[in-house]
Amino acid sequence: MESVQAIKQRFGIIGNDPKLNRALEKALQVAPTDISVLVTGESGVGKEVVPKIVHALSHRKHSKYIAVNCGAIPEGTIDSELFGHEKGSFTGATQTRSGYFEVADGGTIFLDEVGELPLTTQVRLLRILENGEFLKVGSSQVQKTNVRIVAATNMNMIDAIKKGKFREDLYYRLSTVEIHIPPLRDRKEDIHLLFRKFASDFGQKYKMPTIRLDDDAVQLLVKYRWPGNIRQLRNVAEQVSVLEESRAISLSTLNGYLPHANDSNLPAVIERESKKGDFSNEREILYKVLFDMKADLNDLKKLTLEMLNSGDSDKVQEENETLIRKIYGSNGEEVEEEEAAPVELLPPHEDRDEKPKEIAQEDKYHFAEEIQEEETLSLQAKEIELIKKSLERNRGKRKAAASELGISERTLYRKIKQYDL
């Protein structure tokens, strides 16, 4: 078996990153078998080199190797491209055509961007993986093929399965061995090596001296995130080689070819979003507490009204009836605040002639505040009395007392602590 270094030289692979070396080692180990391989990684990392290595080192190396970009074939014709069709099977099918799986019989098929396959095509592909059988479009005759499938995708396949865009059974058949190619930003020591290789190639191609980066430009090159990975790095090297007259490239010059080079890491934006999310969670918790308190108050109002109507509590004094009727109305139904009759309190008789308007207005609000305070305090006292009575009747069992009072046990516990019962 060839070594990793020999494979790098043979296929022009540059880099010494441990993750890259591990991916190449897995390709070497799986190549002599017929196991299906799934190559994963971001767009532009060079996934297409792995199926070439697998085919070149397998016993199928003398048979055909066909690479198919599944994302570039229209959905309406992809079944015909992969499996072939019979004459007259659809409009434009003027003759019988052999598909890729028939042509590559005995060889290897590389399905690039396999995550873009339609669900109906995925069913056909699963059948080939299971027993090597397929049907041409418009045919009822089962045909056999002996091909090895190597697939690649830049999708998160688990998310695609959850969203119903990719069959789970097909995923596990394709990914018997999964080889992940790391993104360029995780191979920082390889970035400058790759750039120098591309710059040298383009210098020879366009018959001009090779460009050189100064130290600051090299630092920018290494720190940049490279969202387009090796493909983007190659394009930048080509642009700089062709467009710049000076062969010495400075930091400012290189910066003009790297989009968003100054905000590639974005730490502040992520932090602000996190804080926003925390504030939102605190606000939701506060709303929930307020809604629980409102529900507890409504439960207490209903309980007091029921006891008043049923006559079970002789100790509910007459002074609470005014407040309860004001809240619920005469029939026990809650009324709107604006419909409640205003409280009209007149000043003493002897003061009416001296200050008929000013004193009447002042006394009106003064006495209204006193009456409202007395009613509130009286209702609180009755609440304490009801809780004590219920706890005594249930021998201190909070759960039974809360059930009798019509409130939650947590609410009862809070009121016991509040009133120091």
Are 248 and 320 part of one and the same domain? no
Is 285 within a domain?
no
| pLDDT score, position 371 | 45
Burial 66-83 (b: 16+ CB within 10 A, else e): ebbebeebeeeebbbbbb
Q: Give tens-digit pLDDT for 146-176.
A: 999 999 999 999 999 999 999 999 999 999 9
pLDDT at 327 exceeding the cut of 50: yes
Phi, psi at 76, each rounded to 5° = -70, -20
Cβ atoms 126, 169 nearer than 8 A: yes
Q: Is residue 105's pLDDT more than 50?
A: yes
CB within 8 A of 66, min separation 6: which ones? 100, 103, 104, 107, 108, 109, 110
Q: Are residues 220 and 242 in the same domain?
A: yes
Residues 202 and 169 occupy one common structural domain: no
Report, as an integer, the average pLDDT of 359-372. Answer: 47
Put residue 138 in one of left, alpha, beta given phi > 0 → left and psi -120 to 50 → alpha.
Answer: left
Please say which residue of 136, 162, 182 terminates a domain: 182
State the Cα–Cα distance between residues 127 and 82, nearest whole angstrom. 13
Residue % of the chain over a pLDDT of 90: 58
Residue 163: inside a domain: yes
pLDDT band at 383 (very low <50, low <70, confident <90, very high): confident
Residue 144 shares a structural domain with residue 222: no
Q: Give the range of the structural domain holding residue 220, as residue numbers without chain letter.
A: 185-263
311 shares its domain with 246: no
Residue 199 belongs to domain with CATH number: 1.10.8.60
Q: 9 and 78 share a domain? A: yes
Domain boundary among 157, 182, 207: 182
- pLDDT of 268 reads 43
Q: Total domain count for the chain?
A: 3
Can you give the C-alpha Rg of the chain in angstroms? 40
Q: Which residue has the higher pLDDT, 85 or 307?
A: 85
The answer to whether residues 16 and 79 belong to one domain is: yes
For residue 207, what are the contacts with CB-CB under 8 A and spacing of at least 6?
none
Same domain, 35 and 99: yes
Same domain assignment for residues 298 and 195:
no
Q: At what angle do helices 358-393 and 267-310 cross, to 10 degrees?
A: 80
Position 277 in a domain:
no
Q: Is 150 exposed, middle or buried (0-12, 13-18, 19+ CB in 10 A)?
A: buried
CATH code, 45: 3.40.50.300
The stretches of 31-77 forming alpha helices (DSSP H) are 49-56
- C-alpha dist (Å) from residue 184 to 201, 253, 411: 20, 22, 58
Q: Among 246-250, 253-257, 258-262, 282-286, whose mean pLDDT is lowest?
A: 282-286
117 and 13 within one domain: yes
Cα separation, 264 vs 271, in Å, equals 15
Does residue 352 sit within a domain? yes
Average pLDDT, the chain: 82
Over 90: is that where the pLDDT of 341 sits? no
Answer yes or no: is 281 within a domain: no
- The answer to whether residue 115 is domain-embedded is yes
The structure's pTM equals 0.62
Q: Do 46 and 161 lie in a common domain? A: yes
Residues 173 and 231 in one domain: no
* Residue 242 lies inside a defined structural domain of this protein: yes
Q: Is residue 155 part of a domain?
A: yes
173-198: pLDDT as tens digits: 999 999 999 999 999 999 999 999 99
pLDDT at 250 over 80: yes
Tell me: pLDDT of 310 over 80. Answer: no
Per-residue confidence at 329, pLDDT binned at 50, 70, 90? low
